[in-house]
Amino acid sequence: MALARTQSEWDRTAAQMALVANCHRDPRKHGPFCAKDFHPFQPGAHGGADGAIAINAGNIRLLKKVFVRE
């Protein structure tokens, strides 16, 4: 029940965040936002599982070039 309540509260919060973001967005620079863009528990959100970047040797090499001095 606690998880359902938390998700329900996030549903309302994400909808309000999308409303505010759409009121202040520049239509020439960005399309309309939806609640899914702000909801942390929805797949496809910015921190969601299907938006994740796979870690591979190329990514590690790139990170090493950026953060490690040789």
pLDDT, tens digit, 9 for 90 and up, residues 11-41: 999 999 999 999 998 888 888 988 888 888 7
State the pLDDT at residue 49.
47
In this structure, are residues 34 and 25 in contact, taking their beta carbons and an 8 Å threshold? no
Tokens of 64: 């090493």
CA distances from 59 to 13, 25, 34, 35, 47 (A): 34, 32, 30, 30, 18
State the pLDDT at residue 13.
92
Total domains in the fold of the chain: 1
Residue-number span of the structural domain to which 34 is assigned: 2-67
State the pLDDT at residue 47.
46
State the pLDDT at residue 69.
80
Tokens of 41: 């528990």
pTM: 0.57
